[in-house]
Amino acid sequence: MTATELPGHVDLTEHGIRAGGRVYLNPTTSMLYTHALARNEAVLAEGGPLVVDTGRYTGRSPQDKFVVREPGSEERIWWGSVNQPIAEESFDRLREKLVAHLEQTVIYVVDAFAGADPAHRIAVRVITDHPYHALFARTLFIEATEEELADFSPQALVLHAPEVEADPAEDGTRTGTFIVLHPSRTEVLIGGTFYGGEIKKSIFTVMNDRLPLEGILPMHCSANVGHDDRVAIFFGLSGTGKTTLSADPARLLIGDDEHGWGGTGIFNIEGGCYAKTIRLSAEAEPEIYRTTRTFGTILENVIVDERGVLDLDDDSKTENTRAAYKLEQISNALPEKRAGHPESVIFLTADAFGILPPIARLDRDQALFYFLSGFTAKLAGTEIGVTEPQPTFSTCFGAPFLPQPPGVYARMLGEKLDRHGATVWLVNTGWTGGPFGEGRRMPIAATRALLDAALSGALEGVAYRTDELFGFEVPVEVPGVDSTLLDPRSTWRDPEAYDRKARELAAMFRDNFGKFAAEAGAEVAAAGPHV
């Protein structure tokens, strides 16, 4: 469907908006490029990507995310620092501010879907006053066909106006920035930040609330499938390797960040990818690197010179430089964005302590322990204020996006593992030979070799040792991998220093798990480190 001036084709009064300016319905990529360039909100780089600067916010602002406390959902919401409550009256005031602003500007409307499984998808409408953000939504969500657009009825609404700021004293927010979800209305309000990731993660939050009600496990993971139909999923926070490791030229990419696991298998929630680009290498990540030289890609906060030449190594703006691109730009992407049940479940962790082995095999109870723990390091730039790796526990490898209690998702994962018998692996993509600042980052070639062995079944027949402290199984020798890496203690100059830090990390796991122990049960609680 071509861009259309309204009124006459879509009546935005159903959303309480009486547009006073031009409204563009489902504009094309070329039109959005043209508008963004004409408004000096972007520059064109060599090869065709659109480069934008997101201003003050170069990452998500989780402290400014709120959920409306309202009768239709309040009993199922996991209230606390992740889901901060806000009054319905505050939501209404913020909505009025957004609507008043949008009614005086040019409006871009993008209609798309979240969820590649037709039985478990929602129709999403994003209304924004910025062409870059409309292109972001068009890129990250699943495009509707001409027939679907002709009869499109939105089930989720995002109202987005980055210039609009809240008044904390009046609106009940922390700052002028706000990302507010009303679960029963399935509406999201975003203001005070230009960072595009807030749009995609707000709808992921919606799906994390909706899918469990339908018996579907939503997952913060990437996924791929081999030509032998063996499916693998990769859980992990930003920067742990979900995108890089799933973009394997020998396998078909299902998606890089958000999936659902239902009765027939897994499906991508998105239609695009959102990859970190800092120090991206044409040799190590050729498929993703190629997208940074392609028309249709949006590059956030990447440095570009006056000739349009990119510098992917420049972190002067932020470590969290990003590329948003359609999944189809990856040459080995699976067009259906759906596959069968996973045989391998990978937990990716960027261990900033340098303690965990590069790969370990988990039994069922250990899998739920480490899933609920969600140990990793927040990497620089992903969230405001993070300037170097910080060890953290993000339950279910995605705490910022969980509207319901973690136990809901852990129980569903346990049921899936029991029913389908997947093997679970803990993979450390963080540090070895010492903690951050002393050791080195785990070689990506070694990680790829270990994953290849795990996904092919080659690790089924090798010898394992049981780690005395953490309890999981670690392969003793894997062809093509330096055996020293498999024993983290041997990579440290001072083995006793390793022992002290390992005990410290084990105690952190135990202390953190205390808040889940009662709900998880004695077997899962006992599956953690033996402190």
Query: Would residue 128 count as lying in a domain?
Result: yes
Query: Would residue 238 count as lying in a domain?
Result: yes
Q: Are residues 234 and 135 in the same domain?
A: no
Q: Does residue 338 have a pLDDT over 80?
A: yes
Q: Are residues 360 and 498 in the same domain?
A: yes
Q: What is the pLDDT of residues 65-108, one digit of tens each?
A: 999 999 999 999 999 999 999 999 999 999 999 999 999 999 99
Overall number of domains in the chain = 2
Q: What is the pLDDT of residue 6?
A: 41
CA distance 59 to 378: 12
Q: What is the pLDDT of residue 4?
A: 45
CA distance 528 to 523: 10
Q: Are residues 419 and 345 in the same domain?
A: yes
Query: Would residue 50 count as lying in a domain?
Result: no
- The CATH code of the domain that includes 76 is 3.40.449.10
| Residue at a domain's end among 194, 229, 258 | 194
Q: Are residues 461 and 504 in the same domain?
A: yes
What's 382's DSSP letter? S
| Residue at a domain's end among 161, 194, 227 | 194
Q: What is the pLDDT of residue 256?
A: 94
Query: Would residue 506 count as lying in a domain?
Result: yes
Query: Would residue 69 count as lying in a domain?
Result: yes
- The CATH code of the domain that includes 466 is 3.90.228.20
The arithmetic mean of pLDDT across residues 46-72, rounded, is 97
Query: Would residue 32 count as lying in a domain?
Result: yes
pLDDT grade, residue 391 (50/70/90)? confident
Q: What is the pLDDT of residues 267-279, one digit of tens each?
A: 999 999 999 999 9
pLDDT grade, residue 382 (50/70/90)? low
pLDDT grade, residue 385 (50/70/90)? low
Q: Are residues 370 and 456 in the same domain?
A: yes
Q: Are residues 147 and 228 in the same domain?
A: no
Coil vs helix vs strand at 521: coil
Max distance between CA atoms of the chain, in angstroms, equals 74
Are the CB atoms for 197 and 59 separated by under 8 Å? yes
Q: What is the pLDDT of residues 270-320, one digit of tens each?
A: 999 999 999 999 998 899 999 999 999 999 999 999 999 999 999 999 999
Q: What is the pLDDT of residue 113?
A: 98
Cα separations in angstroms, 176 against 61, 67, 163, 181: 11, 16, 10, 16
Q: Are residues 375 and 426 in the same domain?
A: yes
Full residue range of the structural domain in which residue 398 is found: 218-270+336-525
Q: What is the pLDDT of residues 5-29, one digit of tens each?
A: 443 356 899 999 999 999 999 999 9
The arithmetic mean of pLDDT across residues 245-264, rounded, is 94
Least confident range of 330-334, 347-351, 365-369, 391-395: 391-395
Least confident range of 6-15, 133-142, 477-486: 6-15
Q: Are residues 181 and 264 in the same domain?
A: no
Q: Are residues 356 and 454 in the same domain?
A: yes
Q: What is the pLDDT of residue 151?
A: 93
CA distance 110 to 123: 11
Q: Are residues 139 and 92 in the same domain?
A: yes
Q: Are residues 142 and 259 in the same domain?
A: no
Q: Does residue 158 have a pLDDT over 70?
A: yes
CA distance 260 to 338: 10
Q: Are residues 110 and 246 in the same domain?
A: no
Are the CB atoms for 96 and 127 separated by under 8 Å? no
Residue with tokens 């030979």: 433
Which residues form the catalytic set?
Answer: 60, 201, 220, 238, 242-243, 257, 322
Query: Would residue 212 count as lying in a domain?
Result: no
